[in-house]
Amino acid sequence: MLGLMRRVSMSGSIPTSMLRQSLQRILPGLAILERGYSTLGKEMTVREALNSALDEEMSADPKVFLMGEEVGEYQGAYKITKGLLEKYGPERVLDTPITEAGFTGIGVGAAYYGLRPVVEFMTFNFSMQAIDHIINSAAKMNYMSAGNISVPIVFRGPNGAAAGVSSQHSQCYGAWYAHVPGLKVLSPYSSEDARGLLKAAIRDPDPVVFLENEILYGQSFPISDEVLDSSFCLPIGKAKIEREGKDVTITAFSKMVGYALQAAEVLSKEGISAEVINLRSLRPLDRAAINASVRKTTRLVTVEEGFPQHGIGAEICASVVEESFEYLDAPVERIAGADVPMPYAANLERLAVPQVDNIVNAVKRACFRSVPVAAAA
Amino acid sequence: MAMLSRLASRSSHLGRTLLLPRSLCCSTGGRHFASSAGDEGPTFTVETSVPFVGHRCEPPSREVETTAKELMGFFRDMSLMRRMEIAADALYKAKLIRGFCHLYDGQEAVAVGMEAAITRKDAIITAYRDHCIFLSRGGNLVETFAELMGRRAGCSNGKGGSMHFYKKEGGFFGGHGIVGAQVPLGCGLAFAQKYLREETVTFAMYGDGAANQGQLFEALNISALWDLPAILICENNHYGMGTAEWRAAKSPAYYKRGDYVPGLKVDGMDAFAVKQACKFAKEHALKNGPIILEMDTYRYHGHSMSDPGSTYRTRDEISNVRQERDPIERVRKLILLHDLVSAAELKDIEKEIRKEVDNAIAEAKESPLPDPSELFTDIFVKGCGTEVYGVERKENKILI
């Protein structure tokens, strides 16, 4: 029993509270074991995971330094860099003026010379001010110079919708950056993802765009000793099967992984077994894992928060149609943000981003089950 | 005559203010300025708190002409703005306002002083600390609060939120979330004004945080080359979010940062200094192209409602500014000094304003959330027969 619980808690994918509730339904006497259970696994918020990853990598390699608005004295706009200025000093944790084009260019230049900058964008919306340097100065450099100049830089920060921040502060840049050869694009979901992928990104010799999510920062996940070890690293370009299933494949990244898992729970009660793939890496995209899963389930629902046209789901759908066409038993379903600038009003905002219901409906359509009639608009 | 001697004895304790009443008809008209249409009341001159400092230009005089009506108007308008922002703070804490909310309390003199120097044909553009500028450009309280709460009656139909207020017919072009972006946009407005030979100007407002943005210098260079009537207003409240100006700018003398572009340093807590500077700048810009005005101002709130505003500055500093330089208090003292109305009457005005704001909030709360169909409106100006998809694209698609 304890062994089972330890294994389940190590899966790291489902928030501990959900896990506890599920277990208590199966085993009403669990309350007695509860105290024992809670000491079995540790928990960590995504924020703590990112902070500890930055701390460890800065400790391991003196060439790693941080740069961005409010990362130092303010302790980070979202407190991701808390305590790092005190620990590493102002030469390695630099507060910049509000000048993305300038400081990003400076960061890329430092990377040319051999340092390992971690540049923070307060949100990725502001990265548009610096996008020339990300694409032209960083992504393409190793290729153009035939390997002479590599760019070991990480661009990180919150990406996608928050809550009520309106159109200029809510865009998801996954599709934009994943479009570009020369960049690596990662997007963590859990604390394990956050730690492993950020460490991998900082150690990687290529420019990495690291898309976090503001809403996930405060979310807690169970975390194993292996993940807590300072040498822990996740491979770039490999997706994770968060939940195994046999009827349908759901792909997602970042916050939408949590939504997909919730949808899978709902669907399991209706006899549909969904396999949830946490992409973790948008470029390189783990086409092998996605196709292997679809060949097993024969149905695909892609989920993303960003705009639909030319999005992540579009590329995944194309890949599956190209490589696994004969295996598909249903048209591919794409769930994405609405094709509109993000509205501010709470009800419109809810309609503009995927909800768990939307994912459930899409899976049912892919399974040719009847779906309740959608409400107007 | 008795009044004059009373005024004269008061002037010494306020130090700087000169009194040169041109008309003595205030004894009967003295109590009803706000309502008397066309009746400006007595004209007089006030002296700005400090002299202007010029960069590549002769600064204007410290003596500013004003009328009783204007002075009372300043008090009323700034008090309304102050009250509105404080009410917004409470609404945010009650979770009726979501997302970002950047409050302007402390900076009101810039908004009212500027408005007093220009017409609605002149254009203003600012960043996200825009509620009070919107008001000064003709916005009303109900559409402001409704927008903040994301309701149908909001000035952007609830689709924009705090950072996205607009009123093109009032010469107000927003309302922008990306730091610094509004400056080149403002120079573009000026370009259009010159192109159309309108003899109007644009005030492009930005903060000390945005003052280091490269795009500002690019746009300023072009504006200077092409003699655009662009007036750059740096609202220097000394902190770019949590970073003090000296940590972000090698040269925090923002009025000089235009280099070849002239500039003026202005006490932004003095509505009359602001008015005089803006009048001066408008004349300059129409003849000679761009000019920078640095308004030395202060925000009492933190950067936004998510920022306590006390981790990077001391509470003493904030309360000192409130005590020594508050723009509304300054005007209150002037009104009392000139004996325009009594202190009790000023308090009555403030009570009225409080009620006005409360009523507006109540009315705004009655406004419903936008209709779900609004999700798909205003993507383009006109429909072009293309599909727009909702989240579940197979179920939710409309043609626009």
Which pLDDT belongs to residue A369? Answer: 83
Q: Is A196 left (phi over 0), alpha (psi -120 to 50) or beta?
A: alpha
Contact A345 B209 (CB under 8 A): no
Q: What is the pLDDT of residues A17-52, one digit of tens each?
A: 555 555 555 554 444 444 444 445 799 999 999 999
Contact B99 A344 (CB under 8 A): yes
- A370 pLDDT band (50/70/90 cuts)? confident
Judging contacts by C-beta atoms under 8 Å, the chain A residues touching residue B395 are 361, 371, 374
Which pLDDT belongs to residue A375? Answer: 54
Shortest alpha-carbon distance between residue A211 and chain B (Å): 19
Q: What is the pLDDT of residues B34-72, one digit of tens each?
A: 444 467 888 999 999 999 999 999 999 999 999 999 999
State the ipTM, two decimals. Answer: 0.87
Checking if the pLDDT of A3 tops 60, the result is no
Is the sign of the CA dihedral B20, B23, B28, B29 positive or negative? negative
Which pLDDT belongs to residue B280? Answer: 98
Q: What is the pLDDT of residues B324-375, one digit of tens each?
A: 999 999 999 999 999 999 999 999 999 999 999 999 999 999 999 999 999 9
Mean of the per-residue pLDDT values of chain B: 92
Which pLDDT belongs to residue B388? Answer: 95
Which pLDDT belongs to residue A37? Answer: 40
Shortest alpha-carbon distance between residue B249 and chain A (Å): 7
- List Cβ<8 Å contacts ≥24 apart for A135-142: A135/A180, A135/A183, A137/A105, A137/A108, A137/A109, A138/A108, A138/A111, A138/A182, A138/A183, A138/A207, A139/A180, A139/A181, A139/A182, A139/A183, A139/A207, A140/A181, A140/A182, A141/A112, A141/A182, A142/A182, A142/A206
Q: Are A240 and A257 in contact (CB under 8 A)?
A: no
Q: What is the pLDDT of residues B278-309, one digit of tens each?
A: 999 999 999 999 999 999 999 999 999 999 99
Contact B311 A102 (CB under 8 A): no
Checking if the pLDDT of A7 tops 50, the result is no
Which pLDDT belongs to residue A25? Answer: 55
Contact B214 A338 (CB under 8 A): no
Percent of chain B whose pLDDT exceeds 90:
88
**Region A348-375: what's the mean pLDDT?**
90
Q: What is the pLDDT of residues B228-258, one digit of tens each?
A: 999 999 999 999 999 999 999 999 999 999 9
Domains and CATH numbers, chain A: 43-228 (3.40.50.970), 240-368 (3.40.50.920)
Checking if the pLDDT of B103 tops 70, the result is yes
**pTM metric for this prediction:** 0.88
Domains and CATH numbers, chain B: 43-369 (3.40.50.970), 371-399 (no CATH)
Checking if the pLDDT of B6 tops 70, the result is no
Judging contacts by C-beta atoms under 8 Å, the chain B residues touching residue A358 are 391-392
Q: Alpha-carbon distance B168 to B251, whole Å?
A: 35
Shortest alpha-carbon distance between residue B169 and chain A (Å): 23
Q: What is the pLDDT of residues B156-195, one digit of tens each?
A: 999 999 999 999 999 999 899 999 999 999 999 999 999 9
Which pLDDT belongs to residue A16? Answer: 55
Which pLDDT belongs to residue A24? Answer: 53
